[in-house]
Amino acid sequence: MELGVIGLGRMGQIVVDRTLEAGHDVVAFDLEPEAVATAADAGAEPADSVADLVDRLGDDKCIWLMVPAGAAVDATLEELEGHLDEDDVVVDGGNSYFEDSVRRAESTPAAYLDCGTSGGPAGAHLGFSLMVGGPEWAYDELTPVFDAVATGPDGHERMGPAGSGHYVKMVHNGVEYALMQAYGEGFELLHEGRYDLDLESVASVWNNGAVIRSWLLELCEEAFREEGTDLGDVADRIEGGSTGTWTVQEGLEQEVPLPLIYTALGERFGSRADDGRFSRRLANRLRYGFGRHEVPRRE
C-alpha cells in the first residue's frame, strides 16, 4: 500500500524506513529539505509541500503525521483540510493530548486515528508499540502499515474510539515516570549504601532472571556501563513532564490516587528549583523559631 508521512524527525524517519522495508510505497514531506532528502535516499518519493504530498497520493489517502504535539498538528491538519474526504485516513503518531485528539477526530473530514507510539530510537530495529484509537475500519485499513511500523501484528492494537490511543499512551508515560523513579531509588540506595557495588553488574544479574527485569533495567545497565557506576558527570536537573502532568490531572478527574506517578513528576519539578525549595527554606526558619536551630544562610 501507499503511505504519506509528514514530519521526518527521528521518529518519522523510522516510520518511513520500516514502511519501505515492508514493501510499501511512501511519499514523504518535512519542512526541512534535508530530512526529505534522507527519506528519498531511503526510497521514499519526496514531496515539497503538504499539497504536493497529497497530490502524489491517490484516492483513499493514508497520511501519517509525526510532528510535535500541539500547534504543529493543528497547523498540518489545517493545510490538509481541503484535500481530504471521508475515505481518507489521517494517523497522528505523536504525543498529543487525548482531548485534542477527540476534538481533531470530530473536525477532520477524513477518518482520524490517534496512535500512541512507544519504543524510542530502539524501535528502528525492533519496531514500536502502537496504541490506536478511532474508527475500526480505518484501523483495519492501516493494518499493513501498523504491522510494519510496530514490532509486528502483536505490537499494535485498537484500544477503542477517538482519543483512546493517546489516552493509553498518556498513562503509559505516567507509569514510565514512576518506573524510572523506582529503579532510581533502588540504585541510589545501593550507591549510597554500605557495600561498594558495581551497579552495572547488579543491573546485569537482575536482567538475567530476576522478577524486576525489564527493558528500562537494560537501559540502566547500559547507563552504568557507559557512564560508570557513579554516573560520571550526569546532572540531576530533569526536564519534561507534560504527559506525566496530564496523567495526574486525569487521576484527579477520575478521583484515582496516583501517589507514585505524582511523586516521580514532583521530582522533576523539584529538580528545577534553582534557588532552593521555598518550603525547605521556610522549614529552616521555623526550626529557628521553635528550637533556635541556627538558620543556614546562602553565601
* 12 annotated as a binding-site residue: yes
Is 4 marked as binding a ligand?
no
- Asked whether position 215 contacts its own copies by CB under 8 A, the answer is yes
DSSP state of 295: P
Compute the least distance from the CB of residue 163 to its own copies, in Å. 8
**Is residue 187 a contact residue for its own copies (CB under 8 A)?**
yes
5 touches its own copies by CB under 8 A? no
Choosing from 157, 176, 218, 227, the catalytic residue is 176
Q: What does DSSP say about strands 2-6 and 62-65: parallel, antiparallel, or unpaired? A: parallel
297 is in an annotated binding site: no
58 is in an annotated binding site: no
Please name which of 133, 160, 157 lies closest in space to residue 146, comparing C-alpha atoms. Answer: 157
Residue whose C-alpha cell reads 505524582 in the numeric block: 262
- Scanning 22-93, the segments in alpha helix (DSSP H) are 33-42, 50-56, 71-80
Least Cβ distance, residue 48 to its own copies (angstroms): 27
124 binds its own copies (CB under 8 A): no
Least Cβ distance, residue 64 to its own copies (angstroms): 17
Name which of residues 36 to 95 contact its own copies (CB under 8 A).
none
Q: Is 163 in the site for its own copies (CB under 8 A)?
A: yes
Size of the site for its own copies (CB under 8 A): 129
| CB of 129 closer than 8 Å to CB of 118 | yes
Q: Is 261 in the site for its own copies (CB under 8 A)?
A: yes
234 vs 239: CA distance, rounded Å:
13
Cβ neighbours of 241 (radius 10 Å): 18
Q: Which three cell numbers stand for residue 264?
A: 516521580
Q: Does 245 contact its own copies by CB under 8 A?
A: yes
Which one of the spans 51-59, 64-72, 104-112, 210-218 is the region binding its own copies (CB under 8 A)? 210-218
C-alpha–C-alpha distance, residues 22 and 292, integer Å:
72
Dihedral in degrees, nearest 10, Cα atoms 8, 163, 152, 17: -10
- The nearer residue to its own copies, 50 or 150, going by C-beta atoms, is 150
Residue 256 contacts its own copies per CB under 8 A: yes
Closer Cβ to its own copies, 107 or 272, answer by number: 272
Q: In which order are the strands placed within the sheet that holds 2-6?
A: 45-46, 25-29, 2-6, 62-65, 89-92, 111-118, 129-133, 156-160
Active site residue 200: no
By beta-carbon proximity to its own copies, the closer residue of 23 and 290 is 290
The closest of 230, 255, 99 to 163, measured between CA atoms, is 99
Residue 95 annotated in ligand binding: yes
Instruction: Output the smallest distance, CB 47 to its own copies, in A.
Output: 26
Pick out the residues of the known binding site for NAD(+).
7-12, 67-69, 95
Residues designated catalytic: 169, 176
Pick out the residues of the known binding site.
7-12, 67-69, 95, 118-120, 172-173, 177, 268
